[in-house]
Amino acid sequence: MWRRKCKQWNAVVALALASLLSGGCQSPTDPDNVIGVDDFVEASASPDPATADASSGRTYRVVRGNNQPDEILEFDWKTTFTVTIRLNDTANDSDLDLAFPTDITAATVNVQQATGGIVSPPTAGGAVYQDYVISQTSGNRYNSAPASHTITFDVWYDNPNLRKEALITVTVGLKDSDGRTFSKTYDVRVSP
């Protein structure tokens, strides 16, 4: 009887061990097969690099605090550029399962001062001041892919180093008809 129970126990252990080993042979998802936003959303800017000219008439407020009056200053620079956002053929990939129509739901910019193409964050309490408007767009809805839309930005900014060279990061938010959201970022260089 003891021998029979021992054989049954060995069979249970062998079955459990085989189950564990066979599960361990499965390979995880290959990271090269994962579709990222950069695989199906492309962006470009025109002109590239963008150029900036002296600004006039657009102002910003510098809050001084400590019972000091705020200052109203004019922006030093203004640039205008157009970003093209394109959904390419990969947007139709069954692994992606993107649901059309897909909409552009937001577009924002962030200006950083740069020197020689390298972002140089402000020091000693300095700050980059910025303002922008979307002055034109070709639309916001993609009914299928491939398809493109353009967004034209007017951007005013003032760098603490007083130079016009900058790196402007454009972030575009998108949402498909199933409610899934994703965003695409693109850096626009502003020449010195």
Span 84-113, pLDDT tens digits: 999 999 999 988 889 999 999 999 999 999
Return the CATH fold of 31-190: Immunoglobulin-like (2.60.40)
- Mean per-residue pLDDT for 123-139? 95
Q: Could you tell me the residue ranges of all domains in the chain?
A: 31-190
pTM greater than 0.95: no
Top pLDDT among 115 and 125 is at 115
Q: For position 64, what pLDDT does the model report?
A: 86
Q: Can you spell out the DSSP letters for the chain?
A: -HHHHHHHHHHHHHHHHHHHHHHHTSPPPPGGGPPPHHHHEEEEEESSSB-EEE--S-EEEE--BTTBPPEEEE-SEEEEEEEEEEE-GGGG-TTT-PPSSEEEEEEEEEEEEEETTEE----TT---EEEEEEEEES-SEESSSSEEEEEEEEEEEE-TT----EEEEEEEEEEETTS-EEEEEEEEEE--
Span 35-71, pLDDT tens digits: 689 999 999 999 999 999 999 999 999 998 888 999 9
